[in-house]
Structure 1
């Protein structure tokens, strides 16, 4: 580099690289190919094709080690009929030896210890056999077997080149296995998701129907035969009514929770001011009857979210404040601010509040605080909020107030 320059700039050219360093050019070409697919068959067959394209070989076979670690199975073949060569024991012949010793092996076909295999290869027209162990992260995954019908000049530089290519192929194989494993797990998760949906649907319909019927029958019983029953009998009927109502409510909330996890989202533009006004109208009666103020900020921003899901998030948080805020609850405050990647919404109250060690637990399914004893609920409201926040690529968290009350935060991604 000349003293008057502080950097070097050279245009990259495959042709120039080929002229300067054929070995690196081959590695680059094979590396580019191996990175173009995640399918194991494509990787192996393509690697075999590339070896015949770049070197003076007539055939290439690639064996992979099975899960037991004792057998090698032919997984790709180019340039020859694989008949009689599909299966090799670890340590058997030149292929098995290359795998067991983790060594490069080159041998004349005429000098093979296994005379029967030597005759088989000679009849296919081969004179030279080379085996390259496929090693990735210290683990042997297979062997690449190369064959030629003529003698090949072999030196240490070429052996090093084969070993580097073998490493590239083995890494690609391991990545393909990982990809296949991910796809299988994805299919299992999809199947589990469908089972959960089916279970929720069945539970919703199978339990709700009988519960509604029990409620109706007990109500009819009191209406028509209440004068016959004594106070104890009428009390039993009322208890049946209350219990059946609780069953229906619980089943509906379980269904809402499942839908929060799996129902498709309809992402659209939402005006924050309109959402806050709609929420205030929805809770007007209960707020007015309990003399509680709902304070919302002046916000004219637009976010992208699923309308039904976002309304359920805010509704559940306001409802949570009303349920657990206590008798001295007098104010619920809605908040909004923007960060670089998220819209941050908050619902604060001046009620009973929560303990710091409960701030994470309360978002778990069926989780209820000790202070909620005697208050109707299934412990699903905040779990639904958490699931809906996740599906909007965000999160939810809670913080206790300095003296009383609590604040719940929901982050919604700006990238929806």
Structure 2
């Protein structure tokens, strides 16, 4: 009785008590259900947090089964995953001493076999036994003798493939309410997606490790190759140049000290020997320069290309002051690049423009910049001999020449060097020309250079 009051007659004698009595059983049940629901929500939040933060599959499933057991106070929770053959569900995590022993033994159940887990995996549906004694498919596990209620919940992938199942067991009969079943199935659904994500992360990490290992191996190979190239370069510069210097030097001695004993034909032969030796020396120097452009660290900085071009043009004019060449240089063109390498590019391009315009009485050489499809494109243009565009694919190959040696000197290494330098900067180079109408060489630098200029 919650409240009461006495009722008296006119004489003051007690007649009866009037009061209100309420059965509190319903109220207590409501509080219990609220508390149970709160536990379910806390468990779901913890499982969700673990699924979102743990990217190692084994750690994730172990944490998940422990959380479910702890929050719901179950007798046992285990998680099975289907093997690669799809024939067995293999225990991957289990709570308590029983779970540890079964993991050591490699406990597994046949998919579709005589167990609730096997049925659940085969059909991709939950199976509930509120009284295990009445469950026909149940596997009687000797490690879990006190189980009275059990449910098997499927782990379904995004494509609705069953990748495993969770077993939940209680020591009490009829231990699972509809709310428990719904909450646990929601958790296993979330856990299945988290497992897929963890496996994907693991594959990506493993692939990244393999790539990193391959890169390390490749780097070691390239380092070894570079050491061999450096050794070869030393050998070339020392072992080959020395004999060439001897050939050139002794030929010069013969011409100077024995000129009276030599007839015109002998002198001509010696001049040819000297010319060939000097040409071979230049070729060796060019080959070494070509080799070095692909090695060594690049040092990028802002470089005033216009100033570089002006210095190179002044040097060319000093070498042949009688020539009438007009240089048109766009002022203050800057690039984010390796200044030493870009100087080699411009020396080659401007040197070619100077050389191939030599047969014209007057020449014009231009350096500038133009925008093409939003890209900064530098160019060197001349009005010299030009070339046939049908042979443009040979232009940047080593030892490729589009003109005869009797017309213009050179060994065909310069433009190959230029292309390698431009490629090292992440850019590209191409040319447009017509015979006796000059040539224009265009080149770009990297996206990084473009961003620097746009900043």
TM over 0.5: yes
1:102-150 deviation per Cα after TM superposition (whole angstroms, max 9, x unaligned): 9969999x99xxx9xx88x879x9x9998969899x9x9xx77867776
Shift of 1:182: 2.8
Three-state SS of the structure 1 residue aligned to 2:324 is coil
Shift of 1:292: 2.8
Q: Does 1:295 align with 2:313?
A: no
Which of 389, 404, 409 is residue 422 of structure 2 equivalent to?
Answer: 389
Distance 1:144 1:309 in 2: 61
- After TM superposition, the structure 1 stretch with the greater mean CA deviation from structure 2, 244-253 or 225-234, is 225-234
Shift of 1:284: 1.9
Q: Does 1:164 align with 2:193?
A: yes
1:317/1:347 contact within 8 Å kept? yes
1:354/1:406 contact within 8 Å kept? yes
Q: Does 1:317 align with 2:353?
A: no
Number of aligned residue pairs? 367
Distance 1:172 1:159 in 2: 19
1:232-259 deviation per Cα after TM superposition (whole angstroms, max 9, x unaligned): 6666655554444444433433333343
Shift of 1:324: 4.3
Structure 2 residue aligned with 1:3? none
Shift of 1:306: 1.9
Alignment CA distance shift 1:211-1:59 (3 Å): farther
Three-state SS of the structure 1 residue aligned to 2:377 is strand
Distance 1:223 1:293 in 2: 39
Three-state SS of the structure 1 residue aligned to 2:415 is helix
Q: Does 1:414 align with 2:453?
A: no
Distance 2:294 2:122 in 1: 49
Which residues of 2 match residues 362-401 of structure 1 at below 5 A?
362-363=395-396, 365-366=397-398, 368-371=400-403, 375-400=408-433
Distance 1:243 1:63 in 2: 77
Distance 1:384 1:103 in 2: 67
Distance 2:287 2:314 in 1: 26
Structure 2 residue aligned with 1:282? 315
Shift of 1:341: 6.8
Structure 2 residue aligned with 1:218? 247
Structure 1 residue aligned with 2:381? 348
- After TM superposition, the structure 1 stretch with the greater mean CA deviation from structure 2, 190-199 or 222-231, is 222-231
1:375-414 deviation per Cα after TM superposition (whole angstroms, max 9, x unaligned): 5444432333333333334332222369821211222323
Which residues of 2 match residues 111-130 of structure 1 at below 5 A?
none
The alignment's C-alpha RMSD in Å is 5.3
Which of 225, 228, 233 is residue 199 of structure 1 equivalent to?
Answer: 228
Which of 341, 350, 359 is residue 327 of structure 1 equivalent to?
Answer: 359
2:51/2:190 contact within 8 Å kept? no
Which residues of 2 match residues 10-409 of structure 1 at below 5 A?
29=49, 33=53, 43-44=56-57, 47-48=60-61, 51-52=64-65, 55-56=68-69, 83=104, 85=106, 157=186, 160-226=189-255, 227=258, 238-286=271-319, 288-297=321-330, 299-325=331-357, 327-328=359-360, 330-337=363-370, 343-359=376-392, 361-363=394-396, 365-366=397-398, 368-371=400-403, 375-400=408-433, 404-409=437-442
Distance 2:47 2:265 in 1: 89
Normalising by structure 2, report the TM-score: 0.60
Shift of 1:334: 0.9
1:134/1:144 contact within 8 Å kept? no
1:215-272 deviation per Cα after TM superposition (whole angstroms, max 9, x unaligned): 2221342244452667666666555544444444334333333432332222223334
2:251/2:273 contact within 8 Å kept? no
Normalising by structure 1, report the TM-score: 0.64
2:153/2:165 contact within 8 Å kept? yes
Distance 1:378 1:78 in 2: 76
Gaps of 5+ in 2: 1-37, 70-75
Distance 2:345 2:309 in 1: 12
